[in-house]
């Protein structure tokens, strides 16, 4: 059984405790590798290495940092098949998705920030004829990077790439449920000759390794993606130490469909926004709102297409939907489906685990749930307000713009919203009124790495992506130079 190792100071090392946790394949429910059950002693070693590496890395010319990160991007691409397979087995997601989304995006993350750093610039402010101010941006030191299990390599590299590009060193922690591609990335970093200590990857549980990172006094920057509850805990432990913190948390995103929308485009995209990655994407459009006149027709077609999605072995090429990440997530999703029944909802399709015949013998112990569509729930029901993070969507009719804006804003979350209409003025009006970090008009998950990405309300604070990330990982210092009094006045 593969034994995963920490990556500290350029070496693959065992946990100080010598303890390991089972790492399960969610499609079979069986352990297939061992992940270090790290603790604060491992974090301490990683911090020492990151501290030692910082002076040289932060002074390395941007072009050289860029070259190393580009080598990492190349190696991710060269190992695409191996990484995609590892991600598929570790998460239960279809191999097809890991190949087309997760791994290519991990390479793009490195390539994007490796080149962005070559163009990064800062401001100057001329103060009348008296002085000039310029903003000096310097790396902040050691960054703590904590990522979740739904898009493991994709989200971890989304943090590592900008942190390193800007000259910080880092202590990163992938989710203990999905450590495999981070482990493979360590090997890639060694092959790319990333200097020792610049990136350290410590494996283990959130309460041990994650908490040790967030409370460590030498880690002044924390970038976290994960659940809202964990985000609140991190905010609590980081606040008294005045750390710079970015939190990308959950979502309960509206997918709003007006009667004038082109159904041929709405349907396939809405199926993806509902069920891609088994609905375990913070951007999933889990609340569908349809204008009354189009409601019945939409429900009928959507349910019929959702029922045809193939739930099955993630390694099979024709599988649309794989396994949920864990037994705990499976139980959580099934509990929400029961709650939907109690709250008066009608289960139009799914609502049950996938049967053993459809998933096949190899996967009979896996955590599969059929794509589930629920109607007739009140907008204020718990199922319509709380993040489920599974293949479960609700559909609700709405009368007019006013009503759907209230519906869309009726949760504590505010991460992303999709809006389908051919009426451009209406699209602009709603984009302004919906409280959400991203508004997609006539699309979903159309990502440009330059745009600000993040949430409002309980979906988090701070923005990732492009300039926002380069600014987040640097400290702005204003330098004010007064002109000499005898300088000629222009
Ligand atoms: O995530 P956690 P969980 C949502 C989703 C899911 C729920 C719980 O609704 O059902 O969160 O999932 C680390 N200090 N999302 O519990 O715990 C942990 O080890 C520091 C949405 O699995 O938030 C992992 O590396 N770190 C989400 C990371 O935090 C801690 C993606 C995320 O795990 C920690 C995942 C602590 N005290 C779940 N406790 C999204 N927005 O994409 C845990 N961690």
Show the tokens assigned to 12. 């693959």
Among protein residues, the one whose CA lies closest to atom 39 of ligand 1: 206
Show the tokens assigned to 263. 């159904």
- Give me ligand 1 centre to Cα 208, in Å: 13
The residue assigned the tokens 């993350």 is 109
What are the CA-CA distances from residue 328 to residues 177, 351, 367 (Å)?
11, 17, 9
Active site includes 88?
Answer: no
User: What residues contact residue 281 under an 8 Å CB cut-off, 6+ apart?
Assistant: 150, 151, 445
CA–CA distance, 162 with 113 (Å, rounded to integer):
6
Q: How confident is the model at residue 490 (pLDDT cuts 50, 70, 90)?
A: low
388 CB near ligand 1 (under 6 Å)? no
210 CB near ligand 1 (under 6 Å)? yes
| Per-residue pLDDT tens digits for 435-446 | 999 999 999 999
Predicted confidence at residue 465, as pLDDT, reads 95
- Give me ligand 1 centre to Cα 173, in Å: 12
Predicted confidence at residue 489, as pLDDT, reads 63
CA–CA distance, 145 with 160 (Å, rounded to integer):
7
Which SS3 state, helix, strand or coil, does residue 373 take?
strand
- Closest ligand 1 atom to the C-alpha of 204? 19
Q: How confident is the model at residue 52 (pLDDT cuts 50, 70, 90)?
A: very high
Predicted confidence at residue 488, as pLDDT, reads 66
203 CB near ligand 1 (under 6 Å)? no
User: What residues contact residue 415 under an 8 Å CB cut-off, 6+ apart?
Assistant: 249, 250, 251, 253, 282, 283, 436, 437, 438, 454, 455, 456, 459, 460
Q: How many CB atoms lie under 10 A from the CB of residue 365?
A: 16
- Give me ligand 1 centre to Cα 117, in Å: 30
- Give me ligand 1 centre to Cα 323, in Å: 18
Task: Write out the H or E segment, with its range, that includes residue 163.
Answer: helix 152-165
Active site includes 282?
Answer: yes
pLDDT above 60: residue 418: yes
| Per-residue pLDDT tens digits for 321-364 | 999 999 999 999 999 999 999 999 999 999 999 987 789 999 99
DSSP 353: B
- Give me ligand 1 centre to Cα 150, in Å: 10
Show the tokens assigned to 171. 């202590």
Predicted confidence at residue 463, as pLDDT, reads 96
* Contact (Cβ atoms closer than 8 angstroms) between residue 488 and residue 146: no
For ligand 1, mutation pick of 206, 243, 284 (most atoms within 8 Å of CB): 206
Predicted confidence at residue 100, as pLDDT, reads 98
Among protein residues, the one whose CA lies closest to atom 8 of ligand 1: 227
| Per-residue pLDDT tens digits for 432-478 | 999 999 999 999 999 999 999 999 999 999 999 999 999 999 999 99
| Per-residue pLDDT tens digits for 83-142 | 999 999 999 999 999 999 999 999 999 999 999 999 999 999 999 999 999 999 999 999
CA–CA distance, 10 with 195 (Å, rounded to integer):
7
pLDDT above 70: residue 69: yes
Task: Tell whether pTM > 0.85.
Answer: yes
Predicted confidence at residue 487, as pLDDT, reads 67
- Closest ligand 1 atom to the C-alpha of 332? 10
pLDDT above 80: residue 428: yes
What's the mean pLDDT when you consider all of the chain? 97
- Closest ligand 1 atom to the C-alpha of 175? 25
Among protein residues, the one whose CA lies closest to atom 25 of ligand 1: 175
CA–CA distance, 419 with 253 (Å, rounded to integer):
11
| Per-residue pLDDT tens digits for 37-49 | 999 999 999 999 9
Phi, psi of 105 (to 5 degrees): -70, -35
CA–CA distance, 304 with 289 (Å, rounded to integer):
18
Q: How confident is the model at residue 162 (pLDDT cuts 50, 70, 90)?
A: very high
């Amino acid at each position: 059984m593969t034994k995963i190792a920490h990556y500290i100071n350029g070496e693959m090392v065992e946990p100080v405790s010598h303890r390991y946790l089972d790492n399960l394949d969610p499609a079979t429910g069986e352990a297939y590798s061992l992940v270090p059950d790290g603790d604060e002693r491992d974090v301490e070693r990683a911090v020492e290495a990151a501290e030692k590496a910082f002076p040289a890395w932060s002074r390395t010319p941007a072009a050289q940092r860029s070259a190393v990160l580009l080598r990492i991007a190349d190696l991710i691409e060269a190992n695409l098949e191996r990484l995609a397979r590892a991600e598929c087995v570790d998460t239960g997601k279809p191999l097809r998705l890991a190949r087309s989304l997760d791994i290519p995006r991990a390479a793009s993350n490195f390539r994007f920030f490796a080149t962005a750093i070559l163009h990064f610039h800062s401001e100057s402010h001329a103060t009348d004829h008296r002085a000039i101010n310029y903003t000096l941006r310097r790396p902040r030191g050691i960054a703590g990077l904590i990522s979740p299990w739904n898009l493991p390599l994709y989200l971890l590299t989304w943090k590592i790439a900008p942190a390193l590009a800007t000259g910080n060193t880092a202590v990163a922690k992938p989710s203990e449920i999905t450590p495999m591609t981070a482990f493979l990335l360590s090997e890639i970093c060694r092959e790319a000759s990333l200097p020792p200590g610049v990136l350290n990857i410590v494996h283990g549980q959130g309460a041990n390794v994650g908490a040790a990172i967030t409370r460590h006094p030498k880690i002044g920057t924390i970038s976290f993606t994960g659940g809202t509850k964990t985000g609140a805990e991190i905010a609590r432990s980081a606040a008294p130490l005045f750390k710079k913190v970015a939190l990308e948390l959950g979502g309960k995103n509206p997918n709003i469909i007006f009667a004038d929308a082109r159904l041929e485009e709405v349907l396939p995209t809405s199926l993806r926004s509902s069920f891609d990655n088994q609905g375990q994407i913070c951007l999933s459009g889990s609340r569908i709102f349809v204008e009354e006149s189009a409601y019945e027709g939409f429900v009928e077609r959507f349910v019929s297409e959702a029922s045809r999605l193939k739930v099955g072995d993630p390694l099979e090429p024709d599988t649309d939907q794989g396994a949920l990440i864990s037994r705990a997530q499976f139980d959580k999703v099934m509990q929400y489906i029961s709650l939907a029944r109690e709250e008066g909802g009608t289960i139009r399709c799914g609502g049950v685990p996938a049967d053993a015949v459809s998933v096949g013998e190899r996967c009979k112990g896996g955590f599969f749930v059929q794509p589930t569509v629920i109607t007739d729930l009140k907008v204020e029901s718990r199922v319509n307000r709380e993040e489920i993070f599974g293949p479960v969507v609700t559909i609700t009719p709405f009368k007019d713009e006013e009503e759907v804006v209230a519906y869309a804003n009726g949760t504590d979350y505010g991460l992303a919203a999709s809006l389908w209409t051919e009426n451009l003025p209406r699209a602009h009006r709603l984009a302004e009124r919906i409280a959400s970090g991203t508004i997609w008009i006539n699309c979903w998950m159309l990502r440009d790495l330059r745009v600000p990405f993040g949430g409002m309300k309980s979906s988090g604070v701070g923005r990732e992506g492009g300039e926002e990330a380069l600014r987040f990982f640097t400290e702005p210092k204003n330098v004010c130079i007064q002109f000499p009094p005898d300088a000629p006045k222009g």
